[in-house]
Amino acid sequence: MNICVIGTGYVGLVTGVVFADLGNDVVCVDKLVAKVDGLNKGIMPIYEPGLEEMVARNVADGRLKFTTDLAESVSKSEIIFIAVGTPPREDGSTDLAYVEDAAKGIARALNSYKVIVNKSTVPVGTGNFVREVIETNKRRSVDFDVVSNPEFLREGSAITDTLVPDRIVIGAPNRIVAMRLLELYAPLERPMIITDVASAEMIKYASNAFLATKISFANAIANICEAAGADVNQVVKGMGLDNRIGQAFLSAGIGYGGSCFPKDTRSLLHTAQSYGYEFPLLDATIATNEDQPKRFIKKIHAVMGENLKGKTVGVLGLAFKPNTDDMREAKSLDIIGDLLETGAKVRAYDPIAIENTRSTFPDITYCGNAYEVAAGADALIVVTEWNEFKLLNMERLKSVMADPIIFDGRNIYNTDRMRQLGFQYFAVGRGSAVGSQIPNTVGVREFRFVRAEDAVGV
């Protein structure tokens, strides 16, 4: 098929390259000249594992092109994906200006029947909005249909999530249109669900809001565990083994960030309120997430003092999650901002996201690895759970620190081992909070399941 993808961010670029890899002819359109020029030279605007190689392969094979010419791209395509940004407004509602701009461009270039697919995350009712914009602005009497096909990509595994999705959701006005999308996705051989357009739009928001709620629930439980001397890692492990709950998105820490969960939860809350429903559960989810980094920062000051002037603090991890360079709503921004405000000297390292952080914090010291960050540091703060941080030589780390204090915002280390090595170790929800009322004197053991006949001596 001939496909046009409008927008070359995470969603648009990954969508375009995967469809090209499946044998389609794809043109990706963006109005930013520098971005398109970079892509044509093989320079990726984002970091995503495997993306650069896949783009290069499909460009070389002639199946993938990048351009700023929207009109020509639309006129030559059968299916047009809108994958532009949908940023939040101050009140939490979604700004559809880029979607509207794309729809107007499509309308002006319509020369034959097209299927227009909303791939961007948009509020319920956007399908009708796009149809109205195109109807109002089209220059020829040609028919078209608008479909909702929400993405469920995770940054850091976006290509895998596109090639092997849990499900493909197609919200279409009729079955004939749905079959066009079914044909496009058929090579993936994945479960597909066909709904009306509004339901497909709601599925995306409901999914993200539910996952965000799981994270905030785990963090709320962690706060209780911390006060009571329990270990949240063991608690959520016990919870997650219940098939009705599952272990995904139950890791306690300093809260969710990124381009999706914060924006989408606020947008769904705004949508609910616009229909007269206050949605207290989602309101609490958002409030818990906003409070979590504040609690962590308070813990740092409870140990190190309110005034950190003259202290050197190392920060391990800057991106909002591993395997991405995305700094949107990253918790490192809150933590580094507080450290600087209270007088600390900050040293930081992230495998990918240093350049994206430099524009916000140009004056902190950026290092080449974790050991360089730790050199002379009065404390280390783990913000992003990169695998390389899990595998550090802790004896070496301790030997170069001025004071062996670690604040672990992602619970990646073993509490007992860290304390045996001589660290002052403060995690999230693991009975290590300063001022815990009940000390965790018993400890938590992990037991093996054994057969009855092998139980002797266990």
Q: State the catalytic residues.
A: 260
Tokens of 78: 């059968």
CB 204 within 8 A of CB 123: no
The amino acid present at 7, given as its one-letter code, is G
Reference 45, options 19, 20, 66; nearest CA is 66
CA–CA separation, 228 vs 159, rounded Å? 42
CA–CA separation, 235 vs 232, rounded Å? 5
CB 151 within 8 A of CB 15: yes
Distances (CA, A) of 281 to 93, 236, 400: 18, 20, 46
CA–CA separation, 423 vs 409, rounded Å? 15
| Angle of helix 280-304 versus helix 197-228 axis, rounded to 10 | 40
